[in-house]
Amino acid sequence: MSDHDYQPSSKLGKWFNDRLPLLTLSNHLQEYPTPKNLNYWWTFGGILTFCLITQIVTGIILGMHYIAHADLAFESVEHIMRDVNYGWLIRYVHANGASMFFLAVYIHIFRSLYYGSYKSPREVIWIIGMIIYFLMMATAFMGYVLPWGQMSFWGATVITNLFSAIPFIGESVTNWLWGGYSVDNPTLTRFFSLHYLLPFLILGLVILHIWALHVPGNNNPIGIDIKKPSKDTVPFHPYIVIKDLFALLLFLIVFAFFVFYSPNILGHADNYIEADPLVTPAHIVPEWYLLPFYAILRSVPDKLLGVIAMFASIFVLVILPWLDTSKVRSAIFRPIYKQFYWFLVADVLILGYMGAMPAEGTYLIIARVATVYYFLHFLVILPVLGRKEKTLDIPLSITEPVLGGYPNQATTKNNQNIKEKL
Amino acid sequence: MKKFLKILLFISLISNLNYVKVFAESSAELLKVDWSFKSFFGKFDRASLQRGYQVYNEVCASCHSVKYLSYRNLAEKGGPEFSEEEAKAIASNFEVIDGPDSTGEMFTRPARLSDKFVSPYANDQEAKAANGGAYPPDMSVLVKARKGGADYIYSLLLGYDDPPADIKLDDGVYYNKYMYGNKIKMSSPLSDDLLEYSDGTKATTEQMSKDVVTFLMWAAEPHLEQRHKFGFRVIIYLVIISILVYFSMKKIWSRIESKI
C-alpha cells in the first residue's frame, strides 16, 4: 500500500515505529483512500463498531453485578435495575443495544447485497462478516437467557432442543449442551461464560473484517474499481470520520428514544416473569432479530429438515459470492436484479412477521411460500440472472457523474440516470 | 441524504405497523387511561402513589408480595416520597425474622427501612395452598410482565363481570373480560368504599384501581422519573451536537468537489 513508506517526524517516534509500526498503522488509517461517493448506507460499519464496543463496556459492568445462578439470576437483574447506581441505564442500554446492533447489521448486510459489495475481490470480507453475524446471533441468544425469565428459559429450551434432531447422537449432544437432563443451572452458567467470551471473538473478527477491507478498499455505490488514491477518493480522516460521526449521532438519537422512552418495547413481557420449568408460556417467541430464521425453522414439517433449512438459510449467504454470477456489482446498473432485491427485502420482512405469529393456518402457508422464495432467490434467481440480465453501461470513474462532465454522448444518458439514483 | 431519511422513516412506519398488529391480539380492547407517567415528561402523581400504597397495603398485600421493594424506597425521590419518619413508621408495622443472635436463636423484630417488603406467605407452597392452588404472582414487576402493562392491570381490576351463558365456572374461578382465557382465580378485589383514603379522596373502584396501578408501575420502574428526565437531556444534547457536527462536516467537505 502507498502509505507504507511513512516516516514519523520525531526521533522517538521513529525509534518506536521501527520496532512496532503502530504509527504507520495509525497513518494508514488516517490516509486510507475512500471513495468520495459513499452514501449514508456506508456509515453503518462505523455504527456497528460503536455498537460492539457499547455492548462490551456495558456488559462488563453488568457482569460485575449479575449472578449466574438459576435461583439468583432474576433477582440480581432486579438488583441492577433498582439498587446499582445507574444500573437501570446500563441494563437498558445493553438490552436495547443488542436490538440496535442487529438493526444496524441488517442495514449493513442489505447495503452489501444492493451494491454487490460481496463480489470479487471482497469475498473474504463478506465471509468474515457472515461469521460475525452468526456469532452475534449466538451471543444475543445466550444473552437473552441470562435474566432467567420465562422467555429466557423456554427460548433456551426450544433452541437447544433443535440439536436433538441430529440422528443417533442428538440426545447425547443435547444433554451435553445442557449439562444435565433439562435446561437448568449448569446451562445458565455455561451460557454466561460463553456470552462473555463470544463478543471478544467477534471483536477479533471485526479487526480481520476491517483488515480484509483495507486490502482492496471500499466498494462504492456505482460499484466500479477505482484507482487509489485518485480524484475519486478522499482520505479517511477527516472526511469519512466526520461523516460517520454525524450518522452515528443520528443513530444515537433513535437509540436514546428506545432506551429512555420505551426500553421494554422490543422485549417480551413474559421475560419479567421468573423462569418456571412447570409453566409453558402461551407463545414462545425469540427476539425480533431472529424471527425470520424461526419462521424458516417452523415452516418445515420435519424437525431435522427444519433445522437444516434454518442453518442452510445462513449458509447460502456465506456462498453468495459464487451464487451471484453477475460481474456487475451495483444494483444501479442491474435493473432486473434491483426488482428482485426488493422482493427479497419484502420476503425477509414477511418471514420475520410470520415468525412472530403462531405456526398454523394461513400464517404457516405464507411462511412456507416465503421460505421457498428465500432459497429460490439465492439458488436459482441469482445464478440465472447473472447470465441473462442485460446490464446498463457503467461509468469509468466516480468523478464524471459527480462533476457532471460527460466525455462522450454514449454515456450521457446513463450518467443522468445515475445522478438521479445516487 | 433526503432519500436516506425517507427510507428510514418508511422502515420505522412499517415496523410500527407490525408492532400494532403483533400486540393487538388480546380478546377485549383494554381500557385506556391517560396515565401521568406516560409521555416525555411523564411523572408519577405523588398523591396517587401514596393512595396506591394504601390500596396495596390494605387489599393486595394480604395475598401478593412485592419482594423486590424495600421500605426505604417509599421515602426515595421519584416514588411515593413519604417522609423518612412515615416510611419508618410503615416499616415498623411489619415483623421480620432475623438472626441468629449471639445465643444462636432466630428472633423477630420490627422491620427497618433497609428491609425488603415482608411477604404475606412464608413460601410459594403456602401461598398456593391458601389460594386454591393458584399462586398470587409477586407484584414487583407485574406491570412489565403483562402485555398491555398498566392499562391491562387497570382493565383487569375493572373487568369482572357475570359470565356469558356458554361459560361454566368452577368453584373459586371468576369471569374477567380481560384475563387471558377469561378465567381468573382471584375474586374481584376492589369495590366502592372498600377503604377510606387518608387524604379524603372518594374511594371508587376506578379511583382505587388507578391509584394501585400507579403504585405498581412505580414498583416495577422505580427510576422512571429519572429516566424520563435523563432521556430529554440526552436527546437535546444529541440534537445540538448533531447540528454542530453537520455544519463541520459541510465545511470540511466543501474543500473538495463532491456532495456528501
CATH number of the domain at A299, please. 1.20.810.10
Task: For residue B203, give how far its alpha carbon lies from the nearest alpha carbon of chain A (Å).
Answer: 30
Q: Which of B140, B149, B238 sits opposite A252 (nearest CB)?
A: B238
ipTM: 0.90
pLDDT of B224 higher than 90: yes
Beta-bridged to residue A33, according to DSSP, are A235
The pLDDT of residue B9 is 61
Domain annotation covers residue A17: no
Per DSSP, the residues of B174-226 read EEBTTSGGGEESS-----TTSS--TT-----HHHHHHHHHHHHHHHH-TTHHH
Mutate to test the interface with B, among A103, A220, A246 (most CBs of B within 10 A): A246
In A359-388, the residues whose Cβ lies within 8 Å of chain B are: none
The pLDDT of residue B27 is 59
Chain B positions in Cβ-Cβ contact with residue A282 (cut-off 8 Å)? 180
The pLDDT of residue A4 is 67
Would the CB atoms of A82 and B68 count as touching at under 8 Å? yes
Name the phi and psi angles at B5, rounded to 5.
-65, -40
Q: What is the 3-state secondary structure (H, E, C) of chain A?
A: CHHHHCCCCCHHHHHHHHHCCHHHHHHHHHHCEEECCCCHHHHHHHHHHHHHHHHHHHHHHHHHHCCCCCCCHHHHHHHHHHCCCCHHHHHHHHHHHHHHHHHHHHHHHHHHHHHCCCCCCCHHHHHHHHHHHHHHHHHHHHHHHCCCEHHHHHHHHHHHHHHHHCCCCHHHHHHHHHCCCCCCHHHHHHHHHHHHHHHHHHHHHHHHHHHHHHCCCCCCCCCCCCCCCCCCEEEHHHHHHHHHHHHHHHHHHHHHHHHHHCCCCCCCHHHHCECCCCCCCCCCCCCHHHHHHHHHHHHCCCHHHHHHHHHHHHHHHHCHHHHCCCCCCCHHHCHHHHHHHHHHHHHHHHHHHHHHCCCCHHHHHHHHHHHHHHHHHHHHHHHHHHHHCCCCCCCCCCHHHHHCCCCCHHHHHHHHHHHHHC
pLDDT of A76 higher than 70: yes
pLDDT of A81 higher than 70: yes
Domain annotation covers residue A330: yes
A295/A304 Cα distance (integer angstroms): 15
The pLDDT of residue B11 is 59
Would the CB atoms of A249 and B245 count as touching at under 8 Å? yes
Are residues B223 and B63 in contact, defined by beta-carbon separation less than 8 angstroms? Answer: no
The pLDDT of residue A65 is 98
- pTM listed for this prediction: 0.91
Q: Which of B227, B228, B260 sits opposite A243 (nearest CB)?
A: B260
Mean pLDDT, rounded, for A53-60: 98
CATH code, residues B25-50+140-222: 1.10.760.10
A322 at B interface, C-beta within 8 A = no
pLDDT of B194 higher than 60: yes
Work out the percent of chain B whose per-residue pLDDT is above 90: 75
The pLDDT of residue A369 is 97
Would the CB atoms of A88 and B223 count as touching at under 8 Å? yes
Range in A159-173, A334-348, A399-413, B103-117 the model is least confident about:
A399-413
Mean pLDDT, rounded, for A130-154: 97
- The domain tally of chain A equals 1
Chain B positions in Cβ-Cβ contact with residue A401 (cut-off 8 Å)? none
B246/B9 Cα distance (integer angstroms): 20
pLDDT of B93 higher than 60: yes
Chain A positions in Cβ-Cβ contact with residue B235 (cut-off 8 Å)? 253, 256-257, 260
Domain annotation covers residue A16: no
Would the CB atoms of A239 and B68 count as touching at under 8 Å? no
Nearest CA among B259, B7, B254 for reference residue A37: B259
Chain A positions in Cβ-Cβ contact with residue B245 (cut-off 8 Å)? 242, 245-246, 249
Chain B positions in Cβ-Cβ contact with residue A88 (cut-off 8 Å)? 223, 227
The pLDDT of residue A318 is 97
- For residue A205, the enclosing domain spans 2-9+22-404+411-421
pLDDT of A333 higher than 70: yes
Nearest CA among A104, A101, A253 for reference residue B231: A253
Question: Where exactly are the structural domains of chain B?
Answer: 25-50+140-222, 223-260
pLDDT in tens, A199-217: 999 999 999 999 999 999 9
Mean pLDDT, rounded, for B13-41: 69
In A152-191, the residues whose Cβ lies within 8 Å of chain B are: none
Grid coordinates given for A159: 433452541
